[in-house]
Amino acid sequence: MKKVYPAILEVDPVGYGVYFPDVDGAVTQGKDELEALENASDALGIMLASYIENNEELPIATPIHELVKKHDDDIITLVSVELDDYITSYENVVISEVLNQEFMKPYNVSPEELSEKTNIPITIIQNILHNKEKITVDTSIRLGHFFGVPAKYFINLQNDIDVQNFESEYQDEYNKIQQIKA
């Protein structure tokens, strides 16, 4: 299922930041326009898949001609995504990969800087990055504020990944459970 949403590219210190006015949490960046748009499609896919997997309605896309630039050098464009590529993409994914690849690397943020700026102890950051610790509500809120995504973004992502991985690993056992009859 293909979806198209308007996105706004903003010039930032490391290239371009991208956000979707209609899709909370769908933010990313890239060193140039091409990388920013490629990353934007991924960010959009991940967030829309999260809506679907949580049985939430997809946001309605604002017509592109109704959007207004905040800055003269902003670029308003449409970004498409094939949602089928993302709906099961959490299987065997770990939160450390998402945090590192989608957030820390694009913004060139080291674990030490992330710890310092968010007041999350470096041991917790390191443990998350080495898959020894899961995201907590407090950590999700702090990371959300720092990276400019909703406070629940990281905790929801952690939960989505955990559910996908458990359902995959224990599918046969779960299928044996009979639903209660009314």
Q: What is the DSSP string of 74-86?
A: -EEEEEEEEGGGT
pLDDT given for residue 92 in this prediction? 60
User: Quick one: average pLDDT of 7-17?
Assistant: 90
* Whether residues 35 and 99 fall in one domain: no
- The answer to whether position 182 is within a domain reads no
Q: What is the pTM of this model?
A: 0.53
Residue 163 has pLDDT above 90, yes or no: no
Strands, E, within 87-173: which ranges?
A: none
pLDDT given for residue 139 in this prediction? 96
* Whether residues 155 and 106 fall in one domain: yes
* Whether residues 6 and 41 fall in one domain: yes
Tell me the pLDDT tens digit for each residue of 66-121: 999 999 999 999 999 998 887 755 556 788 988 998 899 989 999 999 999 999 99
Report the candidate in 136, 96, 103, 131 with the shortest Cα–Cα distance to residue 117.
103
- The answer to whether position 162 is within a domain reads yes
The CATH number assigned to the domain holding 28 equals 3.30.160.250
Burial 52-91 (b: 16+ CB within 10 A, else e): ebeeeeebeeeeeeebeeeeeeebeeebebebeebbeebe
* Whether residues 65 and 103 fall in one domain: no
- The answer to whether position 177 is within a domain reads no
* Whether residues 7 and 73 fall in one domain: yes
- The answer to whether position 10 is within a domain reads yes
Structural domain of residue 28, as residue ranges? 2-85
Structural domain count, the chain = 2
* Whether residues 121 and 142 fall in one domain: yes
